Amino acid sequence: MYPRKRALERIAREKVLYQRHPGGDISVCVIYPNIYRLGMANLGFQAVFHIFESDPSVAADRAFIPDADERDTLRSGGERLVSFERGRPLSDFDILAFSISFETDYLNVLSVLRMAGIPARRADRAGRNFPLIIAGGSAVFLNPEPIADFIDLFLIGEGEEMVPEFIERWQATRGSPNQLRELAAVQGAYLPDFYSPVYDDAGRLAAVNYSGPGVAQVNRRLIRDLNRFPTSSLILTEESVFGDMFLVEASRGCQWGCRFCAAGFMYRPIRYRAPETLIAEAGRGLGERKVIGLVGAEMASVPGVADIASAVADRGGRLSPSSLKADCISPALASALARGGNQSVTVAPEAGSERMRKVINKNLTEAEILGAADMMLGEGVGNLKFYFMIGLPEERDEDVLAIAELVAKVLERARARRTRIGAVTVSLNPFVPKPWTPFQWDPMQDARSIKRKVAMLRQRLTSLGQVELDAESPREAYFQTMVSRGDRRVGGILERLEAAGCEGSGPIWHELSKIHREAQAGGSEASSLPDPDFFVTRPYAHDELLPWDFIDHHIHKWFLLAERKKAHHEHQSPPCDVVRCTVCGAC
């Protein structure tokens, strides 16, 4: 049994900010397939747990991947993973509900099932008394196919209305021999058993045969009015990675249409919460924490954000926005953030050169970036973090070196103005192509090219002094790309990785390299697995059937292709106008 002492100690340190009830006769375990300190920092996980727990017919519990020092015991097979609060074997629940925000946690889904003593493959559970296994979350909105053989039912889209409908449907069909098929009637439900992929001789997806009722297209669910459903911290614990913060979701989606960004397309149309709602939630949060974490894709363009920051500062708190678009930082916002005690701000130029920012549709000039840095430094925010990507489509070496040139200009201007400047961090992440974006057809650059570019940039940044480079491993990006762009055959690769006990980018990369060599050599039993490069370094054809095409995100494919063509010609598109524009199909 999963060690209970640590779980009980954690429960004792938590503060629950809502009234809990004893629960009904439907037992549900909501699982975050990563460790506790990450799960409890995730607003989506907290929100869906609260939705289940608020239903009087449901007795809800949580579960997480055990910490590293506890996993060996579970891997040996002598112990079983149990739920967090009640210490109940996961196999005893009616429903196991995975909340998956990141595709890289798909591997952990298999680990959870193994630790619980539950067969991973849906076919191996058929006709046996195992829980219904469902999954939702932002990762599966984009592409659930890599784990489609392991999940009974997916809920595609935002859960505030869909999850209660699912629970109601479960109650109405309980005991029915066709319950699973009847649950698929919930709008947004995806039952993988209804879909059979067919591949051509080149290994590409040729067709998907559908055997269910109605149409094969799955309609992604979306909440039009976010003010109906406040989303903020519900359970506080200092052990969370944001343990000093009360988190408040300000928006879903993004108006700017950056061509690499999944959130800017999957959550269309952009929706904001009213400033008065956010100020009220922040005020409530200040009774618990001194720092209010404002969560969303881009926070400087949130209506009334300067007033929110000012209201927080007036009450002796500090607003910590997730990321700020440089040209949207107003003097009032900069002043309010500084007055609240912010010592560090993250700005996301994404690309160093003006040319590349046109390619990715950043709608941001060098003058605007430098002006924002001047403004923040002038108000006393001394530490700056710049977020960039590397390996973007159409990128050249001079675009990479332009990152260092841009940072150098920030430093030069600060010194010329005799403005105090502390730490400057350049956060560098390899480009990962995401479904439902204009770059979904583009491959990831090979790891060797990315390493060369990182080394080139590191050398240039080192010469500037006082600049720290924080670069994500291209190995991690490779794995992320594989599960982002993969089809159902990636499930076999995940099984191989899990069986090998792979944890961390090093072991995963080593095993993926072996699978690649086996696939290239052919002839061995292991070569039945697809080559990971097929999903990572291969450009997808524009007329190719994509694994995630069966999901209806209400975005025209021709619109994404048009945006991809604009990128090639270095043309930008204006930000979304949700009042008058209907071009992309989301409004």
For the residues 116-132, what does the mean pLDDT come to?
Answer: 94
Domain-located, residue 167: yes
For the residues 372-391, what does the mean pLDDT come to?
Answer: 90
Domain-located, residue 98: yes
Domain-located, residue 80: yes
Is the pLDDT score of 523 beyond 90?
A: no
Residues in a beta bridge with 426: 386, 469
For the residues 36-44, what does the mean pLDDT come to?
Answer: 97
Tokens coding 311: 């209201």
Return d(Cα 231, Cα 284) in angstroms, integer.
13
The strand ranges marked E within 162-255 are: 189-190, 195-199, 205-210, 218-219, 235-236, 245-249, 251-252
For the residues 78-105, what does the mean pLDDT come to?
Answer: 94
At residue 294, the 3 state secondary structure works out as: strand
Could you say which DSSP state residue 171 is in? H
Domain-located, residue 70: yes
Residues in a beta bridge with 350: 388
Rg value, the chain, Cα:
24
The strand ranges marked E within 82-162 are: 95-99, 132-136, 153-155
Q: Cβ(128)–Cβ(140) under 8 Å?
A: no
**pLDDT band at residue 522, thresholds of 50, 70 and 90?**
confident
Q: Where are the alpha helices (DSSP H) in 77-152?
A: 106-115, 122-125, 138-142
Q: Cβ(32)–Cβ(39) under 8 Å?
A: yes
pLDDT digits (tens, 9 = 90+) for 179-223: 999 999 999 999 999 999 999 999 999 999 999 998 999 999 999
Side chain identity, residue 169: R
Residue 125: give its domain's CATH number.
3.40.50.280
Residue with tokens 């800017």: 264
Instruction: Using DSSP bridges, classify how beta strands 424-430 and 383-390 pair: parallel, antiparallel or unpaired.
Output: parallel
pLDDT digits (tens, 9 = 90+) for 312-346: 999 999 999 988 888 898 999 999 998 998 888 88
Return d(Cα 44, Cα 59) in angstroms, integer.
19
Is the pLDDT score of 418 beyond 90?
A: no
pLDDT digits (tens, 9 = 90+) for 22-37: 889 999 999 999 999 9
**pLDDT band at residue 136, thresholds of 50, 70 and 90?**
very high
**pLDDT band at residue 75, thresholds of 50, 70 and 90?**
low
Residue with tokens 């390493």: 451
What distances in angstroms separate CA 281 from CA 165, 296, 490, one per listed residue?
27, 15, 42
> How many residues are listed for the chain in this entry?
587
Would you give the distance in Å from CA 359 to the centre of its chain? 23
What distances in angstroms separate CA 500 from CA 508, 514, 542, 549, one per listed residue?
9, 12, 36, 32
Task: Of 59-73, 144-158, 318-332, give the range with the top mean pLDDT.
Answer: 144-158
For the residues 8-22, what does the mean pLDDT come to?
Answer: 93
Number of domains forming the structure of the chain: 1
Side-chain half-sphere of 339: how many Cα atoms within 13 Å?
A: 17
Instruction: Using DSSP bridges, classify how beta strands 132-136 and 251-252 pair: parallel, antiparallel or unpaired.
Output: unpaired
* Residue 15 neighbours by CB distance under 10 Å: 11
Q: Where are the alpha helices (DSSP H) in 379-446?
A: 397-416
Side chain identity, residue 321: P
Return d(Cα 398, Cα 383) in angstroms, integer.
26
On average, the pLDDT of the chain sits at 93
At residue 459, the 3 state secondary structure works out as: helix
Domain-located, residue 20: yes
* Residue 533 neighbours by CB distance under 10 Å: 18
For the residues 351-374, what does the mean pLDDT come to?
Answer: 94
User: The pTM is what?
Assistant: 0.95
Q: Cβ(294)–Cβ(320) under 8 Å?
A: yes
Domain-located, residue 162: yes
Domain-located, residue 316: no
Identify the pLDDT of residue 38.
Answer: 97
The range of the structural domain enclosing residue 45 comes to: 4-219
Identify the pLDDT of residue 290.
Answer: 96
Q: Considering only CA atoms, which of 153, 164, 172, 320 is closest in space to residue 233? A: 320
Contacts of 72 (CB under 8 A, 6+ apart): none
